[in-house]
Structure 1
């Protein structure tokens, strides 16, 4: 075998962590390779990288010490018999993730590939489900908002059982017939995680502040909002204000009032029914006095805040949310990540 081989062509990104810290020469002399291999270095490299034997197994096959195998593998890489290639697209996404985290003071950002002509919600939701699953602890109280991406995350969550886990709905229920309602997102996620589910049995918007205040004074809702304010983690999306946006389809705001807000141009995003400007500051809205749900201040007090959002139409909305410091963790797509960085 005279041509160098590239294991990454077969297995993609890889890393082998079981190599010893120190290297020593062969302890029993150099073994004779089979005829298909030009030398023992190539033989050892083939067994390790292609046949995927452990260093101990390769050492047993060749009749030498494991330290000798480490020497052979080091020589295989040094001489070019083995090349290790990290996928450039993965490197680029990792760079985008780090740049986003640094620019917007995030704990972490996750960037999924952007696929032309394919909505980003499903892939962002699936990635968000994995991010959330990795950080869940017994006793957690998880606040859940609503929207297409949040629903995708709930559906993508793998079934598991974590002790004393509570999933709580952080926004009242919408009268809309849309299939991404708050109660559905919360219930699906709770079912997947085997968690206690606490739905918020109240409208998302009431007709007046007085009616809202009287409703929230009910003991059952007081207890529920105390639970919401005790959340250790929250998963939410960011909406824009277009005609086909999730916010428009939710029927929370009268279409005439929504068009007026759009024409004024001050509001750039909506987070759980609350409007914000480009800097992330609240923007007054006709429904503010009647909203039943977590406030922006209470949202920012949750220690772990996972924002799932992406797509070209949402760049300015996500930028506003990040500028306002509403997220500690972000999951988005690569095109949106690049656009967010270019905007700043």
Structure 2
């Protein structure tokens, strides 16, 4: 029997009242109104669609706006996940804190973590809550350490600090980062002590990577990871950024440079075999390098801030990519 519009409207109001106000179970509401569960679900949906029921989400911190931005960026750049810190400050602390919160939530007994280097990774580890209940983790470094700028930014130091928060074993590359000759670097990377770590790291559950900025000859000496000659060479090769000292251009193409042959590092082709590569970076100086990493498909997850991802999207729009 067809229901009149007035009667159907009354049923929608009653269904909504019992469900939202009285918190009754669907089966009980269906019995009370003498309708089937299918009809009841339809009545509740129409009550929402027609504005009989209005749901207001109180969002003082723009969480919904951030969520929508995350969904849009995730789809556009083919990411498994993205975490956007609601910050316009440009400092790496907000992003490092967001990354630490994510890492803490993913920890479990026996987790395997690979990492590279950088200031944001250093701060991330400082922000980790840590736990005495999670044990037997394994941490692998993906590049040489000796001779890199800033002791705290070195991968071996970051690994050691991580193991102070969560108990386990570290497998670090005790080798120079830059060799004088390419032959020396190739010899180190052919050695079993290096290849065994690369092989173990391949089974990582989580790989944390910093994203290096466009090489800048104007950078302060204390913040430079490469000498001036190296920076000039890289700029001439259209380099816009790097992951684990593997350089690429804005389109994600690998930039092969003779200087790179002197670095002791894990290649991007190898890192891409890892289960979940998490890139952590933000700031105006990293917009191009983040876009290049996304275009190259080098990341599964990105953690950045609101201003940076908006700038990345705008740059991609300008370049038509």
TM-score bracket, normalised by the shorter chain, equals: 0.7 to 0.9
1:146, 1:181 within 8 Å by CA — same for their partners in 2? yes
State how far apart, in whole Å, the 2-side matches of 1:191 and 1:308 are. Answer: 21
Give yes or no for the alignment of 1:289 onto 2:293: no
Tell me which residue corresponds to 1:163. 135
SS of 1:306 mapped into structure 2: strand
1:228, 1:294 within 8 Å by CA — same for their partners in 2? no
Q: CA deviation at 1:229?
A: 2.9
Q: CA deviation at 1:197?
A: 1.7
Matches within 5 A, 1:51-130: 84-87=57-60, 89-115=62-88, 118-130=89-101
Matches within 5 A, 1:165-180: 165-178=137-150, 179-180=152-153
SS of 1:257 mapped into structure 2: helix
Distance 1:159 1:311, change over 3 A: same
Tell me which residue corresponds to 2:12. none
Q: Larger % of helix: which?
A: 2
Structure 1's consecutive aligned runs of 4 or more residues displaced over 3 angstroms after TM superposition are 19-25, 216-219, 243-251
Distance 1:99 1:196, change over 3 A: same
Deviations 1:294-338 (A, max 9, x none): 111011110101110111121111000011111111111001111
SS of 2:175 mapped into structure 1: coil
1:170, 1:294 within 8 Å by CA — same for their partners in 2? yes
Moved more, 240-249 or 194-203: 240-249
Structure 1 gap ranges (5+) = 1-15, 26-77
Deviations 1:216-259 (A, max 9, x none): 343333322322233232001111122466998454x4312312
SS of 1:275 mapped into structure 2: strand
1:202, 1:292 within 8 Å by CA — same for their partners in 2? yes
Q: CA deviation at 1:126?
A: 1.1
Give yes or no for the alignment of 1:261 onto 2:265: no
Tell me which residue corresponds to 2:216. 242
Output the TM-score relative to the length of structure 2. 0.76
Q: CA deviation at 1:136?
A: 3.0
1:129, 1:156 within 8 Å by CA — same for their partners in 2? yes
Tell me which residue corresponds to 2:165. 192
2:80, 2:300 within 8 Å by CA — same for their partners in 1? yes
State how far apart, in whole Å, the 2-side matches of 1:292 and 1:327 are. Answer: 21
Give yes or no for the alignment of 1:316 onto 2:288: yes
SS of 2:258 mapped into structure 1: coil
1:147, 1:246 within 8 Å by CA — same for their partners in 2? no
Identify which of 175, 190, 205 aligns with 1:232. Answer: 205
Give the CA RMSD over aligned residues.
2.8
